[in-house]
Structure 1
Amino acid sequence: MSLSKAIAFYHSIAIEGGYVYHYSLDLKEKWGEGKTDDFTIEVQAPGTPAVGESFLRAFKVTGKQEYLNAAKDAAYALIKGQNELGGWEHKIYFNRPLGTMVSFDDNQTQGAISFLMALDQEIDDTKLDSSIAKALEMMVRSQLDHGGWPHRYPEQHNYHDFATFNDQGINDCIRVMLEASKYYDDTAFEQSLHKAGRFLILSQLPPPQPGWAQQYNAYLQPAWARSFEPPSVCPQVTLHNINTLLDLFEFSNERIYLEPIHDALRWLRESQLPNGKWGRFLEIGTNKPLYYDRDRIRVNSLEELSLERRTGYGYEIDIANNLMSTKSRFDRVFHSALTTSEDDQVGSHAVDYLQLEEHVKEIIASLDQHGRWIASNDKFRAETPGERWNGQYRTEDRISSALFNKNIATLCQFLESNKN
């Protein structure tokens, strides 16, 4: 009942089948990356592809046709906004001509393709088939000669042309090609993955800093991106790349993908700051954290950055839990199995189920009479059009796509566990 009510409400606020990030309770104000309008949807998560994935997962768990219809509407919104190149930009503007650029930033194009391919496994639709074929042909065509993917496509004649790991750009491209290889019989996808895996191995920096940079130029050298993103070794990028190497090993069973990981994990452990976090950018040669403000102004600490940069960008990050889980995953893959008894597994699963059940009760109780989950006292940037953000915030109750996706995922997980 709660699942149906929540999905019916969210489907009712769609714009041409698509979604933005936040809505005011009266639906008069809408936000994506900043204020938006009634003719615009977001391609980046938690927008249209992510909401579509939520609908699709609910359909797969329950078999309810109305959930599939909602997922199809989200897919058609994306298809309508797919440009001639075969990809997407950050947003789709239904009252403007289609864009002429493909963005691989923040899982934008990649997330759209993943959702469309997942839906394609459930329905037979010629529009969907054509869109996916066009998108995957673009993925192969846009891959750089050395195996990476750029930040944007086609060439922009600036840093957007560089191979970009920032915000998991290349990692998400590899994920798309792994999914395509699973779903469709085309050797081009396997060849693309081989090129990408080779690039991952070649782009690892040498000891004593065997991690990866956020961006690489055509000579595989760490490169500047924006004025506050210097050439450097990046712990978070390194962690993501380790997981992608494990994905490639599990796909191919080629041990070459495991070889870079030991040294990278050791370097990550050694690079933790005294405050328990990791610098986003570590200087090549010294391993010291780098702090650059806008206009490439280097300062010595987080506190010396401008308010806008200090609060608007993660110069220091906590990757401790992700590092631990990645190390555990590597150990499982490398040593084939964990030494956990069956009884321990059963007990652990019982505890997990009880915790999940309590969480589900909270989610159901928090759904209001209209079928909305409200993000209470949501804090967000107070922006003035045409001006750089001054560090000020607004706080109010809003409808949140991220909260919707999270709660739908939990409800579906609960239903799946009951099935099993």
Structure 2
Amino acid sequence: MKKLIFLTVLLFQYYPIVFIQAQNKQYLSSLAAEAELSLEKGIAFMQSLAIEGGYVYHYSLDAKEKWGEGQTDDRTVEVQPPGTPAVGMSFLRAWRITKNKKFLSAAEDAANALILGQNESGGWDHKIYFDRPTGKRVSFDDNQTQSAISFLMSLDQEIDKPSLTQAIEKALDMMLESQLDNGGWPHQYPWQGNYHDYATFNDNGINDCIRVMIEADTYYREKKFAESLQKAGRFLMISQLPPPQPGWAQQYNEYLQPAWARSFEPPAVDPSASLNNINSLIELFLHTGREELLEPVPDAIRWLKTSRLPNGKWGRFLELGTNKPLYYDRGRIRVDSLQLLSLERRTGYAYEVNLKEALEAVELRFLHISNPEIVGPKVDQTGKLIELAENVRKIIKNQDKMGRWIVHQDRFRKEVPGKIWDGEYRTEDRISSALFNHNVGVLCAFLEAYKDLRAVH
């Protein structure tokens, strides 16, 4: 009798678990189908906004107004993320997980826009003007040229197309040619005889170039890419400033000295750039196995941890020698605090940033790499999938019948051509490429996790 009672209790304890698992399985299967349908609707709508296969940042709901870096027209697209390469990469990721040929076709269209806009030097400026000559200027600012090359190389792994191959070869040749003798990359290329020629970490310039060369070396395994990475790693090491400020500046002149860029960007130690450089050193170590690349990291982390401002943030520019935050307005006008800057600069440039989570993440990453015997926390794949599912449900709910994801009451600067912004804003509903890329990323992450879970079970 006791045995029967025990078995009955055990059955009632176990049955809900099995029932819940079955429910979850059915729910996730249904949601995966909905996620694929949402991708198809969203990508189809996004394609309807394309200009020669390319994209800008924002669109009015009727698509009559378009914005990139400021208001733009019907014959111009953006290269800088979240523009054409980023949207193309979203299409490509969706293709890889679903094998829906419409998504691959959309990615090819985005690539064609970039190929059409590739300039004489082999790279891209921040915009493509389809009705103008492409020019020669290559911009490494804000992941512009780098994101274009990354996307084209990723697509090259999926299709065999001569025009794509030629564009990639031309771009990678330019990357090698533009790399400075010291191993860094300039802000822009060809050289102009001003700060654009300096080795520039600002806005991840060199870091994104390193990422591109790691990808090129991974995909194509040519000696020239490995040599480029060796030069880049050396530059990261020799450009680290000495104690007591073992970080990095935003830009360096030909004498490897921190240097002025724009009139509000002084020679200084930059915590954000320093954090990015730690990550680049780790990425280079993981790719090459060269342990000396990790040597600059501990001192840099210690310095970052002691350089926090009283408000909990980090200054973008810390004065050489004193470690005090610097605030420069346009015209190299120095003021004593963020509040004393002009409205245009105070609201249009990140003089103070919150690096807490990013610093904790890089410190943990370095700890695991330098101490491989330390086992990180086990990831609950099912729990992760359920969490993703909640976000997917919201994304599907927020998508309208046309396949649009709308940023409601989007607030943005009201620009007047030829005038400095006066503080006035516009507020209206808009379509956002950044929101599209984010939502496609979440949908794809869910489908990838669901696929992995099914493979395990």
Aligned mate of 2:414, from 359, 376, 382: 382
Aligned mate of 1:27, from 63, 67, 71: 63
Corresponding residue of 2:179: 143
TM score, norm. by length of structure 1? 0.98
Corresponding residue of 2:317: 281
Q: Deviations over 1:339-390 (max 9, x none)?
A: 34xxx625x3333222111000000000001110001111111000111111
- Residues of 1 paired with 2:109 and 2:336: CA distance? 50
Matched, 1:361 2:393: yes
Matched, 1:407 2:431: no
Corresponding residue of 2:22: none
Corresponding residue of 1:269: 305
- Residues of 2 paired with 1:223 and 1:245: CA distance? 22
User: How far does residue 57 in structure 1 lie from its aligned partner after superposition?
Assistant: 0.2
- Residues of 2 paired with 1:292 and 1:84: CA distance? 36
2:415 is paired with a residue whose SS is coil
Corresponding residue of 1:184: 220
1:204 is paired with a residue whose SS is coil
Q: Deviations over 1:77-134 (max 9, x none)?
A: 0000001110000000001111221000000000000000000000000000000000
- Residues of 1 paired with 2:362 and 2:308: CA distance? 16
Aligned mate of 1:199, from 235, 239, 242: 235
User: How far does residue 338 in structure 1 lie from its aligned partner after superposition?
Assistant: 3.3
Corresponding residue of 2:369: 333
Corresponding residue of 1:232: 268
2:409 is paired with a residue whose SS is strand
- Residues of 2 paired with 1:194 and 1:377: CA distance? 48
TM score, norm. by length of structure 2? 0.90
Residue identity matched to 1:345: K
Corresponding residue of 1:79: 115
- Residues of 2 paired with 1:333 and 1:253: CA distance? 11
Residue identity matched to 1:152: Q
Which aligned runs of 4 or more in structure 1 are off by greater than 4 angstroms?
none
User: How far does residue 11 in structure 1 lie from its aligned partner after superposition?
Assistant: 0.9
Aligned mate of 1:351, from 365, 383, 406: 383
Q: Deviations over 1:176-231 (max 9, x none)?
A: 00000000031010000000100000000000000000000000000000000000
Alpha-carbon contact 2:77-2:129 (below 8 Å) kept:
yes
Bigger drift between 371-380 and 388-397 goes to 388-397
- Residues of 2 paired with 1:375 and 1:332: CA distance? 39
Sort the Cα spacing of 1:337 and 1:15 in 2 relative to 1 into closer, same or farther, 3 A: farther
| Backbone CA RMSD of aligned residues | 0.8
Question: How many residues of Structure 1 are paired with residues of Structure 2 in the alignment?
Answer: 416
Q: Deviations over 1:240-289 (max 9, x none)?
A: 00000000100111111000000000000000011100000000000000
Aligned mate of 2:86, from 37, 50, 60: 50
- Residues of 2 paired with 1:249 and 1:201: CA distance? 12
Corresponding residue of 2:126: 90
Corresponding residue of 1:391: 423
User: How far does residue 156 in structure 1 lie from its aligned partner after superposition?
Assistant: 1.1
2:411 is paired with a residue whose SS is strand
Alpha-carbon contact 1:311-1:391 (below 8 Å) kept:
no
Corresponding residue of 1:69: 105
Aligned mate of 1:125, from 161, 167, 174: 161
- Residues of 2 paired with 1:3 and 1:227: CA distance? 44
User: How far does residue 163 in structure 1 lie from its aligned partner after superposition?
Assistant: 0.3
Q: Deviations over 1:284-335 (max 9, x none)?
A: 0000000001100000001111111110101000000000001011011110
Kindly report which structure 2 residues correspond to 1:151-170, keeping only aligned pairs within 5 A, or say none. Answer: 151-170=187-206
User: How far does residue 337 in structure 1 lie from its aligned partner after superposition?
Assistant: 4.3
Alpha-carbon contact 1:148-1:163 (below 8 Å) kept:
yes
Corresponding residue of 2:246: 210
Alpha-carbon contact 2:385-2:450 (below 8 Å) kept:
no
1:295 is paired with a residue whose SS is coil
- Residues of 1 paired with 2:445 and 2:336: CA distance? 45
Residue identity matched to 2:393: K
1:189 is paired with a residue whose SS is helix
Residue identity matched to 2:306: E
Matched, 1:301 2:333: no
Residue identity matched to 1:190: A
- Residues of 2 paired with 1:192 and 1:369: CA distance? 49
User: How far does residue 393 in structure 1 lie from its aligned partner after superposition?
Assistant: 1.2
Residue identity matched to 1:46: P
Bigger drift between 31-40 and 382-391 goes to 382-391
Residue identity matched to 1:202: I
2:262 is paired with a residue whose SS is coil
